[in-house]
Amino acid sequence: MNKFMKHQKLQFKPGSFRLNGLFRVVFLICCLLSAGLTQAQEKKITAEFKDTPLSNVLKQLEKLSTYKILFTYDDVQSYKVTVSLKDATITEALQKVLDGKPFVFSDVANGKYISVVYQPKKKSDTTKEIKGKVVDSKGETVIGATVRVVNATIGTATDIDGNFTLRVPEDVMTLEVGFVGMKTQLVSIKDKTEVRVVMEEDNTVLEDVVVTGIFKKAKESYTGAVSSISSEQLKMYKGQNVLQTLKNIDASLNFMVNNAMGSNPNNVPQINIRGNSSLPMSVQEYNESIKNDVNSPLIIMDGFEITLEKLMDYNDDEIESINILKDAAATAIYGSRGSNGVIVVVTRQPEAGKLRVNAEIGMDIEAPDLSSYDLLNAAEKLQLEKMAGLYDSDLPGNDVKYSERYNKRLKAVLSGVDTDWLSKPLHTGVGTHYNLRLEGGSEQFRWSGALAYKNVVGAMKGSSRRNFNGSIVLMYMMDKLTFKNYTSYGMNRGRESRYGEFSTYAQQQPYDAPYDENGNLVRYFDGFQYNNLDKQNPLYDASLNTFDKSGYQSLTNNFSIEWDIIEGLKLRGQLGISSTDNSSDYFLPAEHSYFTTGDQKAEYATDEGFFRRGLYRYGTGREYSYSGNVTVTYNKTFAEKHLLSVGVDWSLAETQSRSYSFELEGFSSEDMSFLGNARQYMKDGIPSGTKTSTRRFGLTGNVNYIYDGRYYVDLAYRVDGSSTFGSDKKYAPFWSTGIGWNLHNEQFLQGHPVLTTLRLKASYGETGSQQGSSTGASTTYKYSTDNKYMNWNGTILQGWGNPKLTWQKTDEFNVGMEFGLWTGRVKGEINVYTKKTANLLSNMDLPLSMGFSSYIANVGEVENKGWEASFSGYAIRDSERRMNLMFSGQLVYNKNKITKLSDAIKAQNELYLQEDVDVSNLFYEGRPQNAIYAVRSLGIDPSTGNEIFLDKNGKITDTWKPSDKVYLGSKDQKYRGNGSIMFMWKGLTVNVACSYYWGGKVYNETLLNKVEVTKNTLSSQNVDARVLKSRWFQAGDVTFFKQLSNTQTRATSRFVMDDNVFEISSIGVQYRWDTPWIQKYTRATSITFGVNMSDILHLSSIKMERGTSYPYARNIQGYIKFLF
């Protein structure tokens, strides 16, 4: 918060505007309210105290008034009060309460603070000199802070370096330090001649206000479920990127486990809040692993929508706070975009004053974590092949050849060949990051500029992600008008490793040496069949000039005007424009093994195919969007006990996007990787492209009413219009209503020695989602470029539109409780919810006579039920020694269930059941979306080594059939949580965070692909060590794994296991120096050194390989920060 900002009463944060008829009506109503309602008067206090501790009396007076009363517990703890108050002002009340006691109280400071200070009646004629320094929580000097003796004319102000010197009477024990925009502090000077005062930002507006991205809501009357994350938390739990940091902090954000991509810096994770609310359009789409982000939350930064990828790449040092809105009461103001939850990001604002420079230099380390891999070494693998009979043959001629092959490999093993293939594509990635921020200005004009560069070098050689971000913020305040302009530029360049899939190296035989005796790369390895060129050395491909890279650059400008019309009435207009360009390049030279292996081998083996070798895929696109909104808010307190807040927001937005892509072939050399060197377009291929345009309009109203600080009601209503949906359903209403009760403001709980805050709330509402194709509502056509008539292009009907297509709607009910104990020393919150989504978009079957098999309709339904609990507190809070020990924890439960499906998806389910597939994600009513289906297993028959099954009717059989698959559990974890502990002492801060989940199931792919392999698979790849130790080899063996054979293992319950995990997700240590020595010799106000580590430890109930396509890595970041 700005240290120079004048204190203001709590206001709703406006959005942006454009004068129209609606605004004139709202403006007129607000003016009438202003004229008709009396001005708020100071609250009168009526209370009875009998032998009540003075500390409790002062806290109760604080609740009964509009002021914050500051005092020291050690000074007042031995005093008790008996007094009767009736219709007394705060001044009259304090005079009666403190009558006859050695205390004095100050005048009101900064509009709301009153200090009660111990002052013995005996006065001393001697004085003492007190020296001190005043800084803020970031170590910056506070210039012009007032330092004074309470109820005396003795005082001073801090100089340009934040220092002060004050001579006070010997018996003065406490000083009062104040500054605009910061909490007033009481500082003990007993037995001291020098003090250091750390001022805290006045977070009454931050802690007691929820920023929703459109309105500001008072937390004391807010019925929504929200998690708030501060900038300090983002710094202390820092991960590889902003999303990883959020994962370390908040368990309510469910990051879908992607075991294949591991710690790939270019992978954008899939996130949901309170379970999946949407389904893919078809079972086929889900099982073909088409990217599915239909459950991703909406991301709002400073009032404007951004993508999840941009948030991932954003400089977290420029973020002031993040609020995660979860239920309908919180997200209904976003209407058709709110059902998946909303993440609201608030960036740092410029601070007035002299020029301040923040600079940071850091190093980022990605250290591969291979602890989940347990592969056979060369001797063990050769022994297993011999035991499996791979070198035996019934044909006399082949017997000699296999013996020669075995002896050759044995000789290599005995000579010391034992290749560690897992290490070949890996290294310890060392990257860097640099941040620079400048800010300053006057009370009227403020500015800030920020630059950030971050280069994450991945654990796989050649993989990286580079981000550059720059921004300029200008603010100008003139009377009641505030102008603000935010301009930002972001650039990203991502590159995948030329070493390809990590799983390729995990499959290599350890007795194969990648280099010959002369140190040259071996291109092909000997297989079990002669003249077998399919087994190529992956390091040879990695030595070629291949690349797989992508990137984007974006330019954004957001402008806003805010007008404080009269007290309580604000008007704000915003206009945002954004443009993003993206591109991708993928190149394989003719020498690559892609053209000599796999299904495409025969295609490129012909004379024509030989000259077609070499592949280039290119894609490019641009997205342009604008959005604007007008917000008017009115807050008014009347008749002392009634607070009314009204807000209206009008918004519109348009997004236009286009993309092009094509494939080229025929690159004769790896050095000829330029597009223009291609021989031709891909055979039978042509360039492709898409062009879309969507528009939306929204009108939102919000009313909040509080009675006597105890009872409140919160109402929101929004009407959305969008071009995405049918002509019959262009507009849809969304709404929410909530009620709450602040029990701590009730007479029977005021002044309670333990319970400081107790708030009950409940809400119900309806939000929506715009998941689905932008063309689903309209019948679409495609130009036919293959067939022409007189050089005219014909059109082909591409999709059948549904004019009745409408938004998915989610009805959500939430009940919550917030509590605070011992004056905020311990805080907690519990929420219980039910979330039902209807009108899910899905394919519906059409008669064959229509020419299309299906069209999109609103037919599906999904339900999520669960609860969330969080707590935080202080085990130690000692401001005298500047020592704090804080703890926090969260636990989240969610259960997902599909309640209705379309006939088309049901038919697809039955088709998948009949197909011979290993693991299919099938959708059934009454089951979760991420359900696991497999055939039930009774284990391995000790006499034969074969698996025994139960069919769908419960009968024992030795034949596996896909139609016998049954539901065996869900991949979704039932419980997720985290915990953290943070210790702060003077300039030292140490924190440790852990996360955990349990209650879900997982199909252990390692057992299928690396343990229970066929003989053919065993001959071509390395396997898990459990093959040698735990498989069936002879009659009587009681084992978990079946015998070695060429019969492939199918999806059975043997490999469906409990997925319980505990992780140490983050460890952080930092130390800040701000001593006079530092300032004298470095000219810096402070210097901070720190180290953050994430993904430190992973403990699981199952033994399974992690990071199959890209390995997991431990992330370590070291940094040094300078503040000038």
Domain CATH for 652: 2.40.170.20
Task: Identify the domain containing residue 614 by its residue range.
Answer: 429-1123
> Cα(272)–Cα(293) distance, rounded to whole angstroms?
9
The pTM of the full predicted model, rounded to 2 decimals, is 0.78
Reduced to 3 states (helix: H, G, I; strand: E, B; else coil), residue 528 is: coil
- Residue 305, in any domain of the structure: no
> Cα(83)–Cα(51) distance, rounded to whole angstroms?
9
- Residue 584, in any domain of the structure: yes
CB 728 within 8 A of CB 804: yes
pLDDT of residue 1106: 92
CB 151 within 8 A of CB 104: yes
- Residue 208, in any domain of the structure: no
Residue 232 has phi, psi (to 5 degrees) of: -65, -40
Successive 10-residue mean pLDDT values, the chain, 1124 residues: 35 37 39 37 76 84 82 75 87 86 74 76 70 78 76 72 83 79 78 84 56 79 86 83 88 86 91 79 49 76 90 90 89 86 90 86 95 94 90 77 88 94 96 94 90 96 96 92 95 95 94 92 77 74 94 95 90 95 95 86 89 95 95 87 91 94 92 90 89 89 91 93 68 91 87 87 87 59 70 69 72 93 89 89 52 60 93 85 89 92 72 60 84 91 92 91 89 92 91 93 88 87 89 87 84 92 93 79 85 92 92 94 90
Between β-strands 808-821 and 792-799, what pairing exists: parallel, antiparallel or unpaired?
unpaired
Angle between helical axes of 378-387 and 396-414 (0-180°, round to 10): 160
Between β-strands 146-148 and 174-178, what pairing exists: parallel, antiparallel or unpaired?
antiparallel
- Residue 1048, in any domain of the structure: yes
Structure tokens at 392: 């035996």
- Residue 184, in any domain of the structure: no
Structure tokens at 259: 């075991």
- The Cα-based distances of 307 to 87, 298, 299 in angstroms read 55, 8, 6
Between β-strands 966-970 and 956-957, what pairing exists: parallel, antiparallel or unpaired?
unpaired
Q: With residue 397 as reference, give the H or E element that holds it.
A: helix 396-414
Interior CA angle at 483 toward 479 and 485, to 5°? Answer: 160
Which residue has 């409790």 as its token pair?
56
- Buried residues in 173-195 as b, exposed as e (16+ CB within 10 A): bbbbbbbbbbbbbbbbbeeeeeb
- The Cα-based distances of 977 to 869, 888, 891 in angstroms read 9, 11, 4
Contacts of residue 404, Cβ cutoff 8 Å, sequence gap at least 6: none
Residue 1083 has phi, psi (to 5 degrees) of: 65, 15
- Residue 105, in any domain of the structure: no
Angle between helical axes of 90-97 and 54-64 (0-180°, round to 10): 170
- The strand ranges marked E within 671-779 are 680-681, 688-707, 711-722, 731-742, 755-769
**Nearest Cα to Cα of residue 1100 among 252, 259, 249:** 259
H helical segments located in 495-653: 502-506, 538-543, 607-611
Structure tokens at 858: 């609103």
Between β-strands 1041-1043 and 1056-1073, what pairing exists: parallel, antiparallel or unpaired?
unpaired
Calculate the average pLDDT of the chain.
Answer: 83
pLDDT of residue 7: 35
CB 122 within 8 A of CB 187: no
As beta bridge partners, residue 656 has 624, 693
Which residue has 């067939």 as its token pair?
787
Which residue has 């301040």 as its token pair?
356
**Nearest Cα to Cα of residue 103 among 79, 137, 125:** 79
- Residue 696, in any domain of the structure: yes
pLDDT of residue 455: 96
Number of Cβ within 10 Å of residue 167's Cβ equals 10
Backbone Cα Rg of the chain: 34
- Residue 57, in any domain of the structure: no
Q: How many domains does the chain have?
A: 1
- The strand ranges marked E within 458-539 are 464-478, 481-495
Which residue has 């009463």 as its token pair?
9
> Cα(960)–Cα(966) distance, rounded to whole angstroms?
13
- Give the tens place of pLDDT for each residue, 142-181: 776 788 886 666 778 787 677 888 888 887 888 888 876 6
**Nearest Cα to Cα of residue 756 among 742, 769, 735:** 742
pLDDT of residue 180: 60
> Cα(287)–Cα(268) distance, rounded to whole angstroms?
19
Chain-centre distance for alpha carbon 715: 28
> Cα(330)–Cα(317) distance, rounded to whole angstroms?
26
Q: With residue 892 as reference, give the H or E element that holds it.
A: strand 883-900
**Nearest Cα to Cα of residue 614 among 672, 562, 558:** 672
- Give the tens place of pLDDT for each residue, 309-355: 999 999 888 998 899 999 888 888 888 888 889 999 999 888 877 78
pLDDT of residue 1073: 87
H helical segments located in 415-489: none
